């Protein structure tokens, strides 16, 4: 059953590619700056955070902006992908009526589109990180593995949310609140070490912490994440994938009836 | 191989109902326990009412839904044509949408895609609109593009959900055509439609869904009627069941099935009438129906027209194998009402009590074709499929009533059905019984019984009619008998033993004695020839007047000629009847011949005239007439003698003195029947043929009967004239001149006479009518008029001395004439034994005679007419005959006559007539000398 679906998905991979690209284009379609928004948004946010925390709260950290950027880019990917995936079935219900269409492409394409968006931003900003640590180039394979894991993790949650989103139309509103809270408990503009020991568990129970931390390590600190960390990330990704798709398949028949 | 397979599929919906703001959730099974499979290459129909689960089923196949229970197996690529506009982005152009969708179907860019796009554009007929955003498209354009896309992506399985209803007729036709093409190319097609005709036409098999379950599955033509039974106002649906039979009344439609095989097809059974107000036929399913009562074996339903002015009541009763169907109408009486019952075309043979036949092939598309069979004895019609087709039963339709008015039609091939129609009875109601026989044997037994009773009835009727006819015939016969007796009494005249009966029926006169009829054939009758035609008694109108028991008057009116014949028959002397026949001519007429004829039976075997007698022996028939040759035909009377042991004689004679008649006796043969005939022909000379208006006596005479009748020699001298000089005497008697010397007759038979042959036919001078012009001293002049040819001769006979006769003949031709030969003859006694042409030849006569003239041994000599004469000698004084003219064209002949006259004949014969114009000339002058 799953194999058949995978086979069909593979045959129609072209459609997935089209859809993702289309969604990416739609994101900036009609905008003056187009694809540059993939950079502008994180950079502006990073700059404003830099201003608030360096100038107001006087955090003493060299190249703080780059540090924030290293975390905020993957965060945006995660945040946007999940948000879009959640409402993807509602938005794309028309295409679902074309019976032959593989349903899983809908959340998948949302996640992929944002991955591309993330990739573009990263490619544009990578030279700044390289200015800081020219040797980052050696850690790129590790970065790609990390991105892949991050993608799988996001996809799992995205598929889950897309399914739940059909049942629970206000999930999107819930998510915006959750993401607000989540943003703060995720060490994007701070590092875990900065957090009071009493509250560190909040960060450590948050799986995203490990991903963001890994990004920061590679891009900002130019150090490879520990093997333990990588294994943890691996595990989290697989769990997310399993839980996400498991739940999706479970609710799929009912889901179809509701579209 | 199955393209689609459903195994125990259940599909459930949870629905939220909002009642007064309170949400109530309810579970609803859209599909329950669905099991079916569609084979590859099959066209499969899914039918059912709205909400039956058809679309859910299609969605399950498409994968748009997943079953709650069970397993859906689909092998092959599916393309769908379901919701209008599904899968299209209205912001994109048609072409872009095609590209996007093609990708979904796995067709990537390149030539294949370009080609597909071209095909789809061509099929959809969108033209330049293909490059416009789809939000500007009309519904039809949407539909066409969707359809084009669905089929050109080359799917293995095509799902169509009732979307073809969108679009104009041509687009629909195109789509239907394409579906047929796809069907032909082996695609699996699954169609949901409410158009039963389309389902019937397209689908091989179908399933009928009702409230989520499969109600019926099988051949489309079998499933569709079940659907038709289901749809409609529920108040107007009722069902009767008995055994395997199931009759469904559905809002003015009757459908009838036997063990799942539908006997009805299309509209099934319905009532139809002509509505004057809308000038069209109205079928019963256009009325509003209400079931009045349903019992186990009976339905009563009432249908009312939209305006309430017309209503009808149906009574359906199903008992055993017979469905009784009675329709009564109320209100406005319908014009030309009838009941129609449409059968599947698998019924291919019909049987009535007297005939049977096959249904012909369909020839029209929509129009019905009447079979023209309109004789249905007892109002019974059997219909079967032969050879037996599946489970189709045999049917018998009965339309009771005196005049059942059954009709049988072929529908058009679109409907593909046979229609049995029954007309209304006197009281406006229509009744039809339909008997169903699962086995043909039962059918035959039933039909056989019907036939038997019908034939018995027919036989009875025939016997009755026969008996009646017999009685009638007897009555008529008796009537005829009475009439005949009456007529016989009124139309006969009797004198002693002799009776003349006027038979008005055959228009003939019959002579009867007490022993029976003497006449035969046409009896006694008179004919005449005028205007190139013979007129017989039956050509005229008969009127009989019986003046007294002794006098009978018969008038025969020949209307167009303005000519009447009057017969006056009187009985004066015992055993004798006198008759007088007169002719009244109104406008004047040319009568060429006038005969009085008596045809009689062969009980008479011999005849006798004044001069001779003979038997009625049959001679040689020429053209069915065998004449008996007479020596002297200028006689008026004849006696017919019957067999020797029967001494009766019949006398038939004309009044003597009127000598202008010739008698002929002959036998006639008509259709192997022989009659003896006596014929008195009037001699009407050419000059006398024109009759002025007036009344003429034609024949006057007598018929007598008895043993004592004798023929006395009458005085024949009347009308004769004689010359005498010394011992020499000449008697001229109607065209023959007899010579006597010393009171001994030298001549014989026809004596001195002339004869003419015209057109191969001999006419002798004694057959002419002679007038005596003058007698001066020893010289007489007579004038003879030949009948039938325009010739007259003036003879001058003079006894120039005691032994010499001068014979001078002038001949007048006063009309066109074909004259072969003309002769001047002397027939001499057989006492003469030798002949001589002085200086030329001489010889002796033989004493033998032949049937004919001109036969060599008896023609002793002939030669050119020279100056010398012909001489004969014997026991009588010698006679020489010599022409005084230069004799150009003449020749002399010496011969024996035929056996009748048994005489010597010397003659001058002229054969070369150059120009026969109207002229008058000396034809012959000669001397006859008697040498003592």
Complex prediction ipTM? 0.80
**Which tens digit of pLDDT belongs to each residue from B430-459?**
888 999 988 888 888 988 888 888 888 888
Sort out which chain A residues have CB atoms less than 8 A from B108's CB and list them.
14
Q: Which of A40-54, B305-319, B563-577, B733-747 has the lowest mean pLDDT?
A: A40-54
Residue pLDDT, tens place only, B140-176:
888 888 888 888 888 889 888 876 666 677 777 777 7
End-to-end CA distance of chain A: 22
- C-alpha distance from A98 to closest chain B C-alpha (Å): 5
Instruction: Say if residue B489's pLDDT is above 70.
Output: no
Span B25-58, pLDDT tens digits: 888 888 999 999 999 889 999 998 888 888 889 8
A9 has a chain B CB within 8 A of its CB: no
Q: What is the mean pLDDT of residues B481-496?
A: 77
Q: What does the pLDDT read at residue B834?
A: 92
Single out the residue of B336, B304, B321 nearest to residue B421, CA to CA: B336
| Backbone phi and psi for residue B251, each to the nearest 5 degrees, phi listed first | 50, 55
- The 10 Å CB-count burial string (b at 16+, else e) for B711-743 is beeeebeeeebebebeebbbbbbbbbbbbbbee
Query: What is the model's pLDDT at position A236?
Result: 93
SS3 B543: strand
Angle at B418 between CA B416 and CA B423, to 5 degrees: 140
Cβ pair B569, B551 in contact under 8 A: yes
Q: In whole angstroms, give the CA distance from residue B240 to residue B299.
A: 7
Q: Looking at per-residue confidence, does B105 or B537 come out higher?
A: B537
pLDDT of the residue at A233: 92
Based on its alpha-carbon atoms, the radius of gyration of chain B, rounded to whole angstroms, reads: 55
d(CA B578, CA B580): 7
- The superfamily (CATH) of domain B2-221 is P-loop containing nucleotide triphosphate hydrolases (3.40.50.300)
CB contact under 8 A, A96 and B59: no
Q: Which residue of A has its CA nearest to B146?
A: A98
Question: In the structure, what pLDDT confidence band is assigned to residue B597 with cuts at 50, 70 and 90?
Answer: very high
Work out the mean pLDDT of chain B and round it to a whole number. Answer: 85
Beta bridge partners of B174: none
| pLDDT at residue B795 greater than cutoff 90 | yes
Say whether B65 and A94 touch across the interface (CB within 8 A): no
DSSP state, residue A218:
I
Residue B659 in this model has a pLDDT that exceeds 60: no
Best of A7, A19, A99 to substitute, by most chain B Cβ atoms within 10 angstroms, is: A99
List, as ranges, residues 71-130 from B with C-beta within 8 Å of A: 77-80, 82-83, 85-89, 100-101, 103-106, 108
What values do phi and psi take at B684, rounded to 5? -110, 110
Using the Cβ of A36 and the Cβ atoms of chain B, whether some distance falls under 8 Å is answered with no
| Per-residue tokens: B584 | 């009244």
- Predicted confidence at residue B856, as pLDDT, reads 67
Residue B579 makes CB contacts below 8 A (sequence gap 6+) with B567, B568, B569, B570, B699, B700, B701, B702, B703
Interface of A with B in 56-95 (CB under 8 A): 94-95
pLDDT in tens, A192-223: 777 778 877 877 888 888 999 899 888 888 88
Checking if the pLDDT of A63 tops 90, the result is: no
CATH number given to B721-931: 2.70.98.10
Question: How is B298-334 classified by DSSP, letter by letter?
Answer: EEEEEEE-TTSSEEEEEEEEEETTEEEEEEEEEESPP
Name the residue ranges covered by the structural domains of chain A.
18-258
Q: Which residue of A has its CA nearest to B77?
A: A100
Strands B349-351 and B498-503 come out as: unpaired
Give pLDDT tens digits for B99-119.
Answer: 878 877 777 667 778 888 888
Write b or e for each residue in A204-222: b if 16 or more Cβ atoms lie within 10 A of its Cβ, otherwise e.
eebbbbbbbbbbbbbbbbb
Place of tokens 């039918």: B47
Count of CB atoms within 10 A of residue A185's CB? 15
Chain centroid to CA B913: 56
- Which chain B residues are closer than 8 Å to A97 by Cβ? 64, 82-83, 86-87
The helix (H) or strand (E) run that includes residue B477 is helix B440-490
- Is B65–A97 a contact, with Cβ atoms under 8 angstroms apart? no
Query: Confidence band (pLDDT; 50, 70, 90) for B871?
Result: very high
Judge whether residue A234 has pLDDT over 90. Answer: yes
pLDDT at position B165: 64
- Cis check: omega of the bond before B582, within 30 degrees of 0: no
Q: CATH number for B232-438: choose from 3.40.190.10, 3.30.565.10, 2.30.130.30, 2.70.98.10.
A: 2.70.98.10
Would the CATH topology of B494-706 be identical to that of B721-931? yes
Cα-atom radius of gyration of chain A, to the nearest Å?
19
Name the residue of chain B whose CA is nearest to A103's CA: B64
B196 φψ region: left (φ > 0), alpha (ψ -120 to 50), beta (else): alpha
Q: Which residues contact A32 (CB under 8 A, 6 or more apart)?
A: none
**pLDDT-derived band of residue B824, with 50, 70 and 90 as boundaries?**
very high
pLDDT of residue B718: 60
On chain B, the residues whose CB falls within 8 A of the CB of A256 are: 64-66
Q: What angle do CA B388, B391, B397 make, to 5 degrees?
A: 75
Domain ranges for chain B: 2-221, 232-438, 494-706, 721-931
pLDDT digits (tens, 9 = 90+) for B877-912: 999 999 888 777 888 999 988 888 889 999 999 887
Quickly count helices (H) and strands (E) in chain A. Answer: 12, 0
More confident residue, A33 or B650: B650
Count of Cβ atoms closer than 10 Å to residue B771 Cβ: 12
Which phi and psi (to 5°) does residue B86 adopt?
-65, 135
B7: closest CA of chain A, how far (Å): 16
Q: Are B55 and B11 in contact (CB under 8 A)?
A: no
Q: Exposed, middle or buried, B368 (CB in 10 Å: 0-12/13-18/19+)?
A: middle
Could B64 and A96 be called an inter-chain contact, meaning their C-beta atoms sit closer than 8 Å?
Answer: yes
Q: How far apart are CA A16 and CA A29, in angstroms?
A: 19
Contact (CB<8Å) A253/B65 = yes
> Residue A198, Cα to own-chain centre: how many angstroms?
28
Instruction: Assess contact for B421 and B406: CB atoms under 8 A.
Output: yes
The CATH architecture that domain B494-706 belongs to is: Distorted Sandwich (2.70)
Using the Cβ of A256 and the Cβ atoms of chain B, whether some distance falls under 8 Å is answered with yes
Cβ contact A97–B86 (<8 Å):
yes
Task: Give the C-alpha distances (Å, rounded to integers) separating B145 from A140, B59, B148, B151, B860.
Answer: 49, 21, 5, 10, 124
Q: Which of chain B's residues have a Cβ under 8 Å away from the Cβ of A252?
A: 66
Sequence-distant (≥ 6) Cβ neighbours of residue B487 within 8 angstroms: B504
Question: Distance between the two ends of chain B, CA-based, in angstroms?
Answer: 142
Instruction: Calculate mean pLDDT across residues B616-639.
Output: 80
Whether A89 and A166 have beta carbons less than 8 Å apart is answered as yes
Query: If you search the block for the tokens 């023609």, which residue do you land on?
Result: B859
Can you tell me whether residue A196 is helix, strand or coil?
Answer: coil
User: Using a CB-CB distance cutoff of 8 angstroms, which residues of chain A are in contact with residue B69?
Assistant: none
Mean pLDDT of B526-548: 89
**For residue B646, pLDDT beyond 70:** no
Q: Are B705 and B627 in contact (CB under 8 A)?
A: no
Q: Are B433 and B398 in contact (CB under 8 A)?
A: yes
Could you give the C-alpha distances from B609 to B528, B640, B733, B901, in angstroms and in order? 24, 9, 18, 16
Whether residue B661 has pLDDT greater than 60: yes
pLDDT tens across B342-354, in order? Answer: 998 888 889 888 8
Inter-chain contact A98–B86, Cβ cutoff 8 Å? yes
pLDDT of residue B167: 64
Beta strands in B200-355 (DSSP E): 205-210, 213-219, 237-242, 245-250, 254-258, 261-262, 269-275, 280-283, 288-294, 298-304, 310-319, 322-331, 335-344, 349-351
Higher-scoring residue by pLDDT: B418, B649: B418
Tell me: the pLDDT tens digits for A96-125?
776 667 888 889 999 999 998 899 888 888
Question: What does the pLDDT look like over B337-392, one tens digit per residue?
Answer: 888 999 988 888 898 888 888 888 888 888 888 887 777 888 888 998 877 777 78
B493, B569 in Cβ contact below 8 A? yes
Nearest CA to A90 out of A168, A151, A18 is that of A168
């Amino acid at each position: 059953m799953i194999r058949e679906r995978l086979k069909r998905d593979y045959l129609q991979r072209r459609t997935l590619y089209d859809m993702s690209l289309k969604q990416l284009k739609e994101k900036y379609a009609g905008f003056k700056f187009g694809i540059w928004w993939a950079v502008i948004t994180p950079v502006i946010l990073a700059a404003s955070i830099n201003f608030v925390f360096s100038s107001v709260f006087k955090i003493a950290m060299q190249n703080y902006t780059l540090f924030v950027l290293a975390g905020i880019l993957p965060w945006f990917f995660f945040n946007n992908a999940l948000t879009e995936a959640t409402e993807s079935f509602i938005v794309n219900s028309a295409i679902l009526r074309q019976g032959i269409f593989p349903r899983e492409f809908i959340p998948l394409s949302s996640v992929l589109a944002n991955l591309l968006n993330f990739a573009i931003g990263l490619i544009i900003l990578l030279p700044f990180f390289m200015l800081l640590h020219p040797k980052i180039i050696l850690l790129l394979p590790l970065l790609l593995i990390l991105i892949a894991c991050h993608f799988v993790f996001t996809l799992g949650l995205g598929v889950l949310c897309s399914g739940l989103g059909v049942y629970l139309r206000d999930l999107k509103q819930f998510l915006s609140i959750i993401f607000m809270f989540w943003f703060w408990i995720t060490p994007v503009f701070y590092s875990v070490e900065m957090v009071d020991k009493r509250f560190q568990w909040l960060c450590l129970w948050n799986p995203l912490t490990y991903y963001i931390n890994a990004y920061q390590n590679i891009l900002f600190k130019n150090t490879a994440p520990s093997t333990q960390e990588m294994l943890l990330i691996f595990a989290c990704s697989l769990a997310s994938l399993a839980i996400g798709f498991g739940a999706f398949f479970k609710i799929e028949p009912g889901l179809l009836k509701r579209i | 191989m199955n393209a689609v397979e459903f195994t125990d599929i259940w599909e459930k919906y949870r629905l939220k109902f909002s009642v007064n703001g309170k949400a109530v959730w309810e579970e609803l099974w859209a599909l329950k326990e669905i099991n079916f499979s569609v084979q590859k290459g099959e066209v499969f129909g899914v039918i059912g009412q709205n909400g039956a689960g058809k679309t859910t089923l299609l969605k399950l196949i498409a994968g748009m839904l997943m079953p709650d229970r069970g397993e859906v197996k689909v092998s092959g690529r599916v393309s769908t044509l379901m919701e209008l506009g599904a899968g299209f982005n209205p912001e994109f152009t048609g072409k872009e949408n095609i590209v996007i969708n093609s990708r979904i179907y796995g067709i990537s860019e390149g030539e294949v895609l370009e080609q597909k796009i071209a095909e789809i554009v061509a099929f959809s007929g969108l033209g330049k609109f293909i490059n416009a955003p789809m939000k500007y498209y009309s519904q039809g354009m949407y539909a066409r593009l969707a359809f084009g896309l669905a089929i050109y992506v080359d799917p293995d399985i095509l799902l169509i959900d009732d979307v073809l209803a969108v679009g104009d007729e041509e687009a629909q036709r195109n789509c239907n055509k394409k579906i047929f093409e796809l069907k032909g190319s082996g695609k699996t097609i699954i169609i949901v439609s409410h158009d039963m005709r389309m389902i019937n036409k397209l689908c091989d098999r179908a399933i009928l869904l009702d409230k989520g379950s499969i109600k019926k599955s099988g051949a489309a033509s079998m499933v569709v009627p079940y659907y038709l039974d289901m749809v409609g106002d529920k108040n107007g649906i009722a069902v009767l069941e008995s055994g395997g039979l199931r009759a469904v009344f559905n809002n003015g439609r009757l459908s009838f099935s036997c063990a799942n095989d539908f006997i009805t097809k299309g509209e099934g059974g319905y009532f139809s009438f002509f509505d004057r107000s809308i000038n069209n036929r109205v079928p019963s399913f256009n009325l509003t129906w209400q079931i009045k009562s349903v019992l186990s074996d009976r339905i009563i339903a009432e249908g009312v027209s939209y305006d309430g002015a017309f209503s009808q009541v149906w009574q359906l009763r199903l008992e055993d194998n017979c469905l009784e169907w009675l329709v009564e109408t109320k209100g406005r009486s319908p014009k030309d009402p009838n009941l129609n019952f449409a059968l599947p075309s698998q019924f291919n043979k019909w049987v009535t009590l007297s005939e049977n036949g096959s249904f012909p092939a369909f020839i029209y598309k929509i129009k019905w074709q009447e079979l023209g069979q309109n004789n249905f004895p007892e109002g019974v019609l059997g219909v079967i499929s032969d050879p037996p087709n599946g489970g189709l039963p045999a049917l018998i339709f009965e339309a009771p009533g005196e005049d059942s008015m059954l009709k049988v039609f072929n529908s058009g091939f679109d409907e593909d059905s046979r229609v049995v129609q029954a007309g209304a009875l006197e009281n406006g109601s229509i009744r039809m019984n339909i008997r169903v026989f699962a086995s043909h044997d039962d059918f035959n037994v039933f039909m056989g019984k019907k036939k038997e009773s019908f034939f018995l009835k027919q036989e009875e009727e025939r016997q009755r009619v026969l008996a009646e006819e017999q009685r009638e015939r007897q009555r008529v016969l008796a009537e005829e008998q009475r009439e005949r007796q009456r007529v016989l009494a009124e139309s006969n005249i009797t004198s002693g033993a002799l009776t003349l009966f006027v038979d008005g029926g055959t228009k003939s006169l019959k002579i009867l004695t007490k022993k029976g009829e003497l006449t035969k054939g046409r009896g006694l009758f008179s004919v005449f020839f005028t205007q190139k035609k013979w007129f017989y008694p039956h050509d005229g109108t008969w009127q009989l007047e019986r003046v007294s028991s002794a006098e009978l008057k018969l008038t025969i009116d020949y209307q167009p000629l303005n000519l009447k014949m009057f017969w006056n028959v009187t009985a004066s002397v015992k055993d004798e009847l006198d008759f007088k026949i007169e002719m009244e001519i109104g406008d004047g007429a040319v009568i060429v011949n006038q005969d009085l004829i008596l045809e009689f039976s062969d009980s008479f075997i011999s005849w006798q005239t004044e001069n001779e007698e003979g038997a009625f022996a049959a001679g040689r028939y020429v053209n069915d007439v065998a004449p008996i040759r007479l020596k002297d035909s200028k006689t008026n009377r004849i006696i017919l003698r019957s067999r020797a042991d029967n001494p009766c004689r019949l006398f038939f004679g004309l009044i003597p003195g009127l000598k202008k008649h010739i008698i002929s006796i002959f036998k006639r043969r008509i259709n192997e029947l022989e009659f003896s005939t006596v014929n008195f022909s009037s001699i009407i000379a050419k000059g006398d043929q024109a009759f002025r208006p007036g009344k003429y006596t034609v024949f006057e005479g007598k018929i007598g009967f008895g043993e004592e009748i004798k023929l006395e020699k009458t005085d024949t001298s009347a009308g004769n004239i004689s010359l005498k000089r010394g011992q020499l005497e000449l008697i001229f008697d109607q065209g023959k001149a007899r010579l006597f010397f010393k009171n001994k007759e030298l001549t014989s038979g026809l004596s001195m006479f002339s004869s003419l042959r015209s057109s191969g036919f001999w006419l002798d001078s004694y057959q002419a009518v002679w007038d005596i012009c003058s007698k001066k001293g020893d010289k007489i002049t007579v004038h003879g008029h030949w009948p039938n040819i325009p010739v007259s001769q003036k003879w001058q006979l003079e006894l120039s001395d005691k032994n010499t006769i001068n014979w001078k003949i002038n001949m007048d031709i006063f009309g066109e004439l074909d004259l072969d030969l003309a002769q001047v003859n002397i027939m001499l006694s057989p006492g003469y034994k030798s002949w001589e042409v002085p200086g030329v030849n001489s010889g002796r006569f033989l004493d033998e005679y032949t049937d004919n003239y001109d036969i060599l041994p008896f023609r002793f000599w002939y030669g050119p007419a020279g100056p010398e004469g012909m001489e004969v000698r014997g026991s009588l004084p010698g006679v020489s005959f010599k022409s005084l003219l230069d004799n150009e064209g003449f020749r002399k002949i010496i011969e024996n006559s035929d056996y009748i006259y048994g005489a010597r004949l010397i003659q001058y014969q002229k054969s070369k007539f150059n120009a026969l114009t109207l002229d008058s000339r000396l034809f012959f002058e000669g001397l006859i000398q008697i040498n003592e």
